[in-house]
Copies of this chain bind each other. A is one copy, B any other.
Amino acid sequence: MPGARHSSRQSLVDAAIRILASQPGASLDEIARAAGVGRATLYRHFGSRDGLVRELALASIAETDEAVSRVPRDTSAVEQLRGVLEAVVPLGDRFHFLSQENQVMQDADIAPQVERQLEGLSSLIASVKAEGGLAPDVPDAWVVAAIDSLIYAAWSSVHGGWVARREAPKLVFRTIMRGLGSSADS
């Protein structure tokens, strides 16, 4: 099937992210079955388990970059943060699986990109602080850690059916901005 080259590969990527997010130790056979393809096809596409995980990591990073790049930059930092949360919460599973695969985080190609994204978030947080939207006495490290963990908590709540999809980013935003914001905030 020289035309539909994307079908099997994309099915594998989707199934792998879905399964590895909840079961980091799942076998390649499980993943292949969930994708509806043979295990051999998985090896033809990704070569090895590390190759697969590496592809997933790169794909997740690229997806996030793409989503974040759509956030308008001609607004206040607070509004940009709101936009970033809207864009990233639906990708919460991507990062959850990344954080569990600490094997891949040591990859020479992956680690710098993750660090770059974290620095982007830190920079945005610094801008929000400069605007007075976040309290100066709250450690930046805590803001980053709180946002990271709440993003997955939000995705998980949506996935579990406990929170409406469009409410989730708002709850994260509210929790962060009021929880760690300056005295006056909405």
Binding site for B on A (CB under 8 A): 22-25, 100, 102, 138-139, 141-142, 145-146, 148-150, 152-154, 156-157, 160, 162-163, 167, 171, 174-181
Contact = CB atoms under 8 A, between A and B. Distances in A.
21 contacts: A23-B102, A24-B24, A24-B25, A100-B100, A138-B171, A139-B163, A139-B167, A139-B171, A141-B160, A142-B154, A142-B162, A145-B157, A145-B162, A146-B153, A146-B171, A149-B149, A149-B150, A150-B150, A174-B180, A178-B179, A178-B180
The complex is assembled from copies of this chain, and their number is 2
A98 to B, nearest CB: 14
B149 A153 contact: yes
Contacts of A179: 174-180
A128 to B, nearest CB: 15
Contacts of A153: 145-146, 148-149
B178 A157 contact: no
Contacts of A145: 153-154, 156-157, 162-163
A90 to B, nearest CB: 16
Pairs A-B, 9 closest by C-beta atoms: A179-B179, A175-B179, A141-B162, A149-B153, A149-B149, A145-B153, A178-B179, A25-B25, A145-B157
Given A149-B150, A150-B149, A178-B179, A171 B142 contact: yes
